[in-house]
A and B are shown apart, each in its own frame.
Chain A
Amino acid sequence: MGKNVITWTVRVIVYLGLLAFFIWVFSNEYLNHLVENFEEFLVLLRQHIQLVALSSFLAIAVAVPSAIIVTRPKFQRFEGVVSTVVNFGYTIPNMAILALMMGIMGIGFQTAVVALFIYSILPIFRNTLAGIQSVNSNLIDSAKGMGFKPYQILFKVELPNAAYSIIAGIRTAVVINIGATALAYLIGGGGLGNWIFVGINVFDNSILISGALPITLLAITVDLFLRLLERKVVPRGARPSTR
């Protein structure tokens, strides 16, 4: 009961803040730049989405299988090494990764994808690892004792029970990624970051907001979508509220 009241209060405050922000934006006609340059907006938005989608997809494709591999009995001894490498990658500021990749690969779209990909691996890897490791060992034991084959233990017991944590990791990574993609402008990767940095350089709030606001809305929309996906994918009995 008390928890609900707090949740609702916070929610109302956030919505009121958003409303105030939009009133501020519209009363100052800050979105005029977007409306006047709608063609360019669509190009930047498409670039932004492509950068996010491609780098996130690569990150999922690498991080989830690696976390699965290092939790298999045969490869468990590599878990420490892999975790250290991945954690180390995340301690480098994302600006530095961009600069580093630019040094290696030059400027452009691909460099931005690779840099964003590297930065998205950790949350997904770490959550997948934690999710699988937190599956009760009694479940694995009884699955084994009932004659599950190793791949059946993985797909019928471990992954479904770790699904919530895995999707939470993907959500974190993608939402951070959408914001970080704004930096792609710095290495000629394109995206809505263009307008943000131009806006900063020429002290024009309209250009800046026209770039920043769509990024925020994109992040909120994607987060919502992934939350719905989580509801669909994670079995009722494997959600944290039930543990």
Chain B
Amino acid sequence: MIQYKSVTKIYGEDVTAVDQVSLDVNEGEIVVLLGPSGCGKTTLLRMVNGLESVTDGDILFNGESIKSLNEIELRRKIGYVIQSNGLFPNMNIEQNVTVVPTLLGWSKEDKKKRFEELMELVGLDAEDYRKRYPHELSGGQQQRIGVIRALAADPPAMLMDEPFGALDPIIRERVQDEFLAIQRELNKTILFVSHDIDEAIKMGDKIALMKDGQLMQFDTPSQILQNPANDFVAQFVGKDRMVKSLTIHRIEQLMERYELLDSSIEKGQIATVSKSSNLRDVLSYILESKQQAVHVVNENDEVIGQVDFALVNQYMIDLAEKDEPVVNP
């Protein structure tokens, strides 16, 4: 849906911010642009809706060059969320959320209805917040409003520039989870800028790792973690990259692969983990329980199998050997 065709951005005479980057963002995918500050990730994002000009190369939106599209109309079709949420202090929450529908000339009733839908999406009470102003909300609430404002006119694509960067870790995690839940329903095409590897692993279907304006690696989180393309990637993802990659896989995937489902196991003295836990948490539980294995339980707290350290180890080895890309569920 968004295609970069060897895009280059040069500031002034010779400052190259983005150097011949090509990558495709498919429909319904979250692609995270990741890298240290000054790597050109934000510039790359802002070129899509024309906030930065393209020096060389081209960007296609829905197959059409953005140069051939009307800039204002294009921007109204792409949701835009920035780190400091960018809510307008002079407008109340309802006016803020429905700002793009207002630009598009929606009727009052349509806007009101849409506002209520969106507020429900993030679990905020529409009546309670309608007439309040941004400064009366907490950081987490403001960021949620920033996200639903970008969704207001139901754009097919969204650009998110470190949208959760200003939130404290606990709130950030909650807003991330909430956003992923929304995304599972809405299936937007999303370009997401981050400097945080953990956030990128969690949010991204694919990660584009950048350095000095160049694309270092563009792949799924598991591939980036397990097969870093070069030293820079390996260094950026960290020495604990294998441990990080454990978070991508859920225990039920492992059990399906090895056909471990066994409901005959009796619930005993052994610790239990939910089948939707990721492998990193499973290992942590095993360590914590000071036993060799844990029982896996389903939603109804019934034991459906048993896993131990060696199994997890075997699973990771098998995945790496088969070079099998594991896409985020």
Residues of A within 8 A of B (CB): 136, 138-139, 141-149, 152, 156-157, 160-161, 163, 235-238, 242-243
With contacts A138-B82, A147-B72, A149-B72 taken as known, whether A242 is within 8 angstroms of B135 at the C-beta atoms is yes
Chain B residue numbers with a CB within 8 Å of A144 are: 51, 75
For B150, the chain A residues whose CB sits under 8 A away are: 146
Segment of B58-66, B87-95, B248-256, B291-299 engaged in the interface with chain A: B87-95
Main secondary structure of the interface of A (DSSP, over half): helix
User: Once bound together, how far apart are the Cα atoms of A161 and B90, in whole Å?
Assistant: 6
Q: Which 6 A-B pairs have the closest CB atoms?
A: A142-B86, A237-B133, A147-B75, A145-B80, A147-B76, A160-B90
- Given the known interface contacts A144-B75, A147-B76, the answer about A235 and B82 at a Cβ–Cβ threshold of 8 Å is no
- Residues in A with CB closer than 8 Å to B204 are none
How many A-B contacts if CB must be within 8 Å? 69
- In the complex, the chain A residue whose C-beta lies closest to that of B102 is A156
Contact at A237–B80, with CB atoms within 8 Å?
A: no
Q: Does B283 contact A (CB under 8 A)?
A: no
Given contacts A152-B103, A242-B133, contact A145 B159 (CB under 8 A): yes
Which of chain B's residues have a CB closer than 8 A to the CB of A163? 90
Q: Is there contact, CB below 8 Å, between A243 and B135?
A: yes
How far apart are B286's CB and chain A's nearest CB, in angstroms? 46
CA gap between A104 and B76 in the complex, in Å: 55
Contact of B103 with A146 in the complex, beta carbons under 8 Å: yes
Shortest distance in angstroms between B26's beta carbon and chain A's nearest beta carbon? 22
Separation in Å of the B92 CB from the closest CB of chain A? 7
Question: Is B328 among interface residues, defined by CB-CB distance under 8 A?
Answer: no
Q: Which residues of A contact B159 (CB under 8 A)?
A: 145
Tell me whether A147 and B90 are in contact (CB under 8 A).
Answer: no
Bound-state Cα–Cα, A142 to B80, Å: 7
* CA A127 to CA B135, docked complex, whole Å: 23
